[in-house]
Chains A and B, each alone.
Chain A
Amino acid sequence: MKRSGLWLAAAAVVIYSVAPFLWIVVTSLKPSLEIEARPPMLWPRDLSLESYARAQKGHGVTSLLINSLIVAGGTTLITIPIAALAAYALARLKLRGRRVILSLILVASMFPQVALVHTLYGMIQVMGLVNTRPGLSIPYVMLTLPLAIWILASFFKEIPEDLEDAARIDGCGPVRTLVSVFMPVAAPGVFTAAILTFIYAWNEFFFALVLLTDPARQTLPRGIALMPGRFTIPWGEIAAASVIATLPLVILVLVLQRRIISGLTAGAVKG
């Protein structure tokens, strides 16, 4: 009885969160006539990739995808090393006011984007980076650093210091300790932080809207938002582009989830 209740609740949650996405997938596969059909059909009579073709032809979805990959990937590649160094220091150094520093970092991530965007636009403009992909990555790094530092610092703190001491006694210098002992153990934490950073940069819309006006450099969320024309809303293309925007994340998480959850540290401390 209790079990079936649990299953029901789980099913409800899954349906609630997956159904909209499924609806988008179905829509993206309908030929345009069926999309407009009233009442809507739950399942397309003829599967068609027509919407994908039109999303590519009319809106250059692949170039949007590439832009998104560059911006989100670049953000992750910059954020994670910086965050790892900061987090290592915060986890290991006997700093006075460590908690205060951590709280300040958290506070920094709480500013509403609207409050920042004006100044930020000015700064990016001075740097001559408006309408460039690095010009978007830089603010993304700023936005994602606090979360990444928090995740990594709490993860690093769980790694026993004895592990580094053992490496030191075994004859490792600081660099070797970091590369061949600490990093492999810290990998699940690093992956988690990297994925969240990537997802954030991938989904970000507001800064992309303000800082990237050149259609050739737009990211997916921004590109999708611009698809509706003055008189028509191309539902098929929007659905197709949305599916394209979502798939990389789904794949990323599915591929890496084992690395994330696997208790790689389980053998280090008594399990």
Chain B
Amino acid sequence: MSIVKVDKINKKFGKKQILHDVSFEINEGEILGFIGPNGAGKTTTIKLMLGLQSIDSGSVTINGYDLKKDFEKAIKGVGGIIESPDMYMYLSGRQNLKLIANMYKGITKKDIEDLIKLVGLEKRIDDKVSKYSLGMRQRLGIAAALISKPNVLILDEPTNGLDPQGILEIRELIKKLAKENKMAIMISSHNLSELENFITDACIIQNGKIVSNSSIKKLKSLDVSKYRFKLNKTRGIKTLFGNNNIEVIDDETFEIEVEKKDINSILKKLISNDFEIYSLYKVSMSLEEAFIKETGGNVIE
């Protein structure tokens, strides 16, 4: 069931069109990776989704409520961190959380304590936030986003500043939230490889346009794969197959991206051109490469 629906939103800053017809959906239990290079429009999209900036055209629907018309109801189910977790530095972590809890009904002390434990800040929660490290602020930010028990979580680069252990913990936490609480989660990042192990869906944005939007399973099962050939020589390979999708690794090795059904014809061509074939195997593609493949270009410009 789609919880968040972003439908053809556009945004201009002055004359510069930043977002072009951006559309995607997030379903219950899904973790959507929102991926794009610096300046692609990730933060802008998230700001529009949270009502922090006005939408020029298009609509955002959350839990069935239109963000523009029913802001309070739409935003009620959303927790978020935008760019960086901006907390009141002169207050302690606990005071920050309390302030946020005050703004919702029925949040108990125990809820807050549980959250503090969940993000692992028990020891430092009564220190001023100004004394926190960036990673601790990230954890506090996630706790703050979760206070209202939202069913939508929108995180802009949430693993910024976390150590590998921290990243791992946050990943586990996010996976758990999606699975157990059936939340719809959106995580932006410019780093695809960082996300690939735990997102369920990916949406690629480039220059303000969504260039690809599909589930990870589907991406990974794309027919196109990379095959590595070991031969007696590689000279003349490129002229033989054209420059297409070929990468010569060394004197004896080259890789080529093709569909399964084309393997036979490649073998035939090699043999008839006097190449000796020593070995052939399939190289599994990383998610990033799959994207590059699908979008037909370099993700990071």
Do A and B come from the same complex?
Answer: no
A residues adjacent to B (C-beta < 8 A): none
